Amino acid sequence: MKRQILLISCLFISAALDATQVEQYSVFELELKGPSAGNPFTGVQMSAEFRLMNRSLFCEGFYDGDGIYRIRFMPDEPGNWTYITKSNIKEMDLKKGSFTCVAAASGNHGPVKVRNTFDFGYADGTPFYPVGTTCYAWVHQPEELVNETLATLKKTAFNKIRMTVMPKNYDVYINNEPPFYPFEGSKDKGWDFFRPNPEFFRNFEQKILELQKLGIEADVILFHPYDWGKWNFDKMNTEQAVFYLRYLIARIAAYRNVWWSMANEYDIMRKTDQEWEKYFRVIQSYDPYSHLRSIHNGMEWYNHSLPWITHLSIQTAYLEDIQDWRELYRKPVIIDECVYEGNVPNDWGNLTPEEMVNRFWISYCRGAYCTHGETYIHPENILWWSKGGKLYGKSPERIAFLHKIMTETPLEGVYPHHSIWNKETYLIKDNEFYLHYYGNSQQAKARLYLPKNIRFRLEVIDTWNMTVTPVNGEFSGMIEIPLPGLPYIAVRATALNGNK
């Protein structure tokens, strides 16, 4: 076969590296020129196989408009990677090349995976403790507001954000037109779901990179029911939806901070289980990196034991069920909605900040993670939960405090427990670590049953006032210590060195 010489330019996200180097867990991007006639989104197939030693990963490319095609790849190991393209367009077929992947720089830990059955960790082994927030349609807001959202996020400890690909129309709270539409066409003329709007997706992926800079995982919600006839973006048929998924995967799977949230309140969309399965199988087939996958319930319950579900993304009012779900599914549990801090009349949006923080602590001490959202009535109708902007609540800094406590918990062997009346929740590592959380009760004393032959140091944690107060002395066996007699107190017992 005779090969034509074609301009192949390699672009790197990190400008600091030279053109033949790419950082581990960052993006190698191959740009090719090709046809723009017909429908290049569907008429042109184009992919590449990337190889390091005896391992190869397959990546689909995507059409980015103006005759430009791109293949994005995230190398997960340092070394000399080679690639070869495949296309039904001769000029883009069998293009070969190579690049050097260098070790990740400090602060780049790779994508997040499941760790120890119930927890999360980055690819490089660093534990990841999710403390998420919810800004469903923040990318679909005016630039100024988007930048304000990013500036707000920067000041918090939130390290995961739930966000929708499609714009959102919901109740009185959000119904603005987005800066870009995801497809060619219009509501009136109809959308051509086989012609994505590259500008829309460029904007979307750029936001994911902004989040990456802030160390925030993008929990990307692929489908949601909050359209209600405004745009009909929720009206793709199966073939269109599969095309959309493959296009999105080709564009953003190479970003290390992507998680796939199949749908928000999936059951409201009235798709069949078979349809959801098809979409999960598309993700499993076309995402070379196996990013985390979940599906978020409304009132109905998904079968989270299915193999494509990596973790539970739950909406619930019943935090008491967490331990059962852990045991049943043997997967991490994230309580992605347990009502938001705010004061709207809707019953999903008016927790006190105290109760929002309380639910984070209860979830954590029951062996799960929790997600924040904020819905305070706003004069310009900018509610964080849907549009971003500023945070007005009191829970974010307390959630940051909890995140610090999480980082001080032993990495392995910790299990949740609770008192018989479900009022107290505990994280325990036998003989080493006991974190007792007392919720909204007001006991003036804590009674602990510590191992008799091991000495512990104790700290009283005020989860609301964000203080950690050591208790004088060393403790063993059944003990009582005074508490402030206020709600939202925890006690942490840590075995002293040399006692184990």
Q: Can residue 440 be called a binding residue for a copy of itself (CB under 8 A)?
A: yes
Which residues ranging from 79 to 118 are in contact with a copy of itself (CB under 8 A)? none
| Single-letter amino acid, residue 88 | N
Q: Can residue 320 be called a binding residue for a copy of itself (CB under 8 A)?
A: yes
Q: Which is nearer to a copy of itself, 5 or 299 (CB)?
A: 299
Binding residue for a copy of itself, selected from 232, 381, 442, 469, defined by CB under 8 A: 442
* Contact (Cβ atoms closer than 8 angstroms) between residue 263 and residue 220: no
Q: Can residue 246 be called a binding residue for a copy of itself (CB under 8 A)?
A: no
Number of C-beta neighbours around residue 479 at 10 A? 17
Q: Can residue 32 be called a binding residue for a copy of itself (CB under 8 A)?
A: no
Q: Which is nearer to a copy of itself, 22 or 490 (CB)?
A: 490
- Closest by alpha carbon to 233, among 139, 169, 152, 161? 169
| Single-letter amino acid, residue 126 | T
C-alpha 161/C-alpha 471 separation (Å) is 37
Minimum distance between the CB of residue 472 and a copy of itself, rounded to whole angstroms? 19
The greatest distance separating any two alpha carbons of the chain, rounded to the nearest whole angstrom, comes to: 84
Minimum distance between the CB of residue 463 and a copy of itself, rounded to whole angstroms? 15
Binding mask 268-307 for a copy of itself (x = CB under 8 A): -------------------------------x--------
Q: Which is nearer to a copy of itself, 100 or 352 (CB)?
A: 352
Minimum distance between the CB of residue 353 and a copy of itself, rounded to whole angstroms? 9
Q: Can residue 379 be called a binding residue for a copy of itself (CB under 8 A)?
A: no
Minimum distance between the CB of residue 129 and a copy of itself, rounded to whole angstroms? 26
Distance separating the N- and C-terminal Cα atoms of the chain: 69
Residues ≥6 apart with Cβ < 8 Å to 220: 163, 165, 208, 248, 252, 258, 259, 260, 261
Residues ≥6 apart with Cβ < 8 Å to 417: 425, 426, 427, 428
Q: Which is nearer to a copy of itself, 178 or 416 (CB)?
A: 416
Q: Can residue 447 be called a binding residue for a copy of itself (CB under 8 A)?
A: yes
Q: Can residue 319 be called a binding residue for a copy of itself (CB under 8 A)?
A: no
Binding residue for a copy of itself, selected from 300, 444, 449, 500, defined by CB under 8 A: 444
Instruction: Give the HSE-up count for residue 400: Cα atoms under 13 Å, Cβ half-sphere.
Output: 10
Binding residue for a copy of itself, selected from 181, 438, 456, 464, defined by CB under 8 A: 438
Number of C-beta neighbours around residue 498 at 10 A? 6
Q: Can residue 443 be called a binding residue for a copy of itself (CB under 8 A)?
A: yes
C-alpha 492/C-alpha 331 separation (Å) is 26
The answer to whether the Cα torsion of 376, 380, 384, 389 is positive or negative is: negative
Binding residue for a copy of itself, selected from 355, 397, 432, 462, defined by CB under 8 A: 355
- Closest by alpha carbon to 183, among 204, 169, 208, 162? 204
Chain position carrying tokens 């996200």 = 13
Site size toward a copy of itself, by CB under 8 A = 35
C-alpha 44/C-alpha 1 separation (Å) is 20
Which residues ranging from 415 to 434 are in contact with a copy of itself (CB under 8 A)? 419-424
Minimum distance between the CB of residue 19 and a copy of itself, rounded to whole angstroms? 53
Minimum distance between the CB of residue 174 and a copy of itself, rounded to whole angstroms? 17
Q: Which is nearer to a copy of itself, 290 or 352 (CB)?
A: 352
What is the Cα gyration radius of the chain? 24
Which phi-psi region, left, alpha or beta, contains residue 338 (left: φ > 0; alpha: ψ -120 to 50)? Answer: alpha
Q: What is the per-residue DSSP string for 127-152?
A: EE---EEE-TTGGGS-HHHHHHHHHH
Q: Can residue 21 be called a binding residue for a copy of itself (CB under 8 A)?
A: no
Minimum distance between the CB of residue 320 and a copy of itself, rounded to whole angstroms? 7
Q: Which residues bind a copy of itself (CB under 8 A)?
A: 299, 317-318, 320, 339, 343-352, 355, 377, 419-424, 438, 440-447, 480, 485, 487
